[in-house]
Each structure stands twice: as C-alpha cells, then as structure tokens.
Chains A and B, each alone.
Chain A
C-alpha cells in the first residue's frame, strides 16, 4: 500500500469513519511496512500502540451512560425546582414582612372604635342639624329677592 493510501486511511481512522475492512487493510499495511517516512513512522507507532491496547467496552455501558445522563438531567431539574421554590418562599417572606408598606394602614386615632363612632355620630348630628334645609332656605331667599326685583322693576 502506498504512503498516500496509508495517509488516507489514517485520516478516515482518526475521523472515525473507517470501515472494519479498511481498518484491517490499514493494520496490515502498518504492520508489514518496512520503511516509512518519519511522520508516518510516528503515526505507525501510535496506531500500533492503540491497536495493542485491549480496549474492552464494559457491558451495559450504553445503558449506564444513559442512566448517568438521566441522573444529571434530573439533578439539573431538581436544582431549578429548588431555586424556584426558594425564590417563592423568599418573595412570600418579603411580602409578609413589608405588607404594611404595600397596603394602606388604618390611621391610629388614639381612641377606641366605640369612642370614635360616638364622636362621629355627634359631629354628624351637629352638622346635620346646622346644615339641613339650608339650600331650601337659600332658594327661598333667592326667590324672594327675585320677586322684590321684579316688583321694583314693575314699580308696583
């Protein structure tokens, strides 16, 4: 196999797209080659070293990997959930603590509600007594004034 072909197969090998047949060809070329260019010689040593390693794929690796990925995803989701829950609790605490600032508070009058309403009723009664029927009287007064004006104009 020419060095050009070896290089091509090596590229496919490193890219992970080499077929089993091409791999066997590359292996036999590397194994049987007597003299190679220095660069290829280095590649050959690496390739043969990798080949000699007994890389055994553990059983159920795929299953274990997917389980590990699931676990990681679950942990991520749990972290998000914990963060959201903590934020909700913190918001609740802040709202309860500062609720007084957000809701209008009843003014402190310094007297009991009973006394407050007694006073309110008293003031209400006094104002009602003083002001009730005022506009009726005013209107009557205005009508009276107009009547006088008309009378004066007619010189009656």
Chain B
C-alpha cells in the first residue's frame, strides 16, 4: 500500500512537472525555430523602408496606410498551412498575449461561420501600441498571424481596417 502511494505521488509529481515544462518551455524563438522546419509555414517580412518605397510608388495602394508617418517599423506575415503549423502559430500568438493580461488589449474579435479574426494591441502608452497582432483563421483552410511593430496609434489601426475592409 505504501509502495502504491509512493508510486501515485511520483506519477502526480511527474505529471505536473511534465505539464509545466510543455506549457512553459517553448519560448518565442524556439517556436519560430520549430515553425521554420515546417514545410507548410511561410513568413513574409517588410521593413519600414520597404513599406515607404511601396507607398511612394503607388499612392493608392492599401499598404500605403502603414507607410510614411504611420509609425510602423515592420510587418511580418506568418502563414500556417497545416494543423501542426497552426498549433505552433497559436502558441506563438500566446507568447504575445498570455503575459501580463492588463497590458494586452483585444481590439476586435469576430467569429463568423468558418472564419475567426482577432486583433490585439500591446500598448506602450494610452492609444499607442508597440505591437499589433492580427490573427485570422479559416478553419481547415488558412491561418495567418500578422505582427505589426512600431509605435502604432488607434487611428492607424482604424485606417488599416478601413483600407482592407473592402
């Protein structure tokens, strides 16, 4: 009986340690490293200079709202093509928004049929976000995470939605 109890206690401790490790072990860099090995994963990166050049070439291009004085330093688009990549993508999103809940701000969330969209802002000061995350998922089709970095105002987020909401 004592041996049985010891075994149960040991299993319980091992379970908790294992859960804790799997839940917290993966850092953002590690997730990205794992994602990079996934064939269905794709990332597109645009710097401020690239956004500015695109906007200068085509003034009416929707991306122009992220150029010039929009305060955007970079845009990264992560595309996850299969379930494994999607899981990593969700884990990556969680590394941004599961920290200090007070600091995270869900700007918008929408579930419509097979489509889910959530926009988060990580504010650096009132109405200014250091990072804006746009997570969208078409079930069994395509999942993307768009990470916009810089010093982005509420106004820019509004303009962005307005520019692409057509």
Contact = CB atoms under 8 A, between A and B. Distances in A.
Contacts of B62: 124, 127-128
Interface string A127-156: 111111111111001000000000000000
Contacts of B110: 134, 137-138, 141
A124 B136 CA distance: 14
B166 interface: yes
Q: Pick the most buried of B61, B62, B77: most chain A CB atoms within 10 A of its CB.
A: B77
Contact of B63 (A109, A110, A120, A131): A120
Nearest to A128: B164
Contacts of A122: 44, 77
B50 A119 contact: yes
Given A132-B164, A134-B108, A134-B161, A127 B146 contact: yes
Interface stretch (B31-39, B52-60, B89-97): B52-60
B26 interface: no
Contacts of A124: 61-63
B102 interface: no
B25 to A, nearest CB: 29
A116 B108 contact: no
B139 to A, nearest CB: 14
Interface in B68-84: 75, 77, 79
Given A109-B50, A111-B50, A138-B110, 19 more contacts: A107-B52, A107-B53, A109-B47, A109-B53, A116-B53, A123-B63, A124-B62, A126-B146, A127-B63, A127-B146, A127-B160, A128-B166, A129-B136, A130-B117, A130-B144, A132-B165, A133-B112, A135-B162, A136-B165
19 contacts: A104-B56, A109-B49, A111-B50, A119-B44, A123-B77, A126-B77, A126-B79, A128-B164, A129-B136, A129-B142, A130-B144, A131-B161, A131-B165, A132-B166, A133-B165, A134-B165, A135-B161, A137-B110, A138-B110
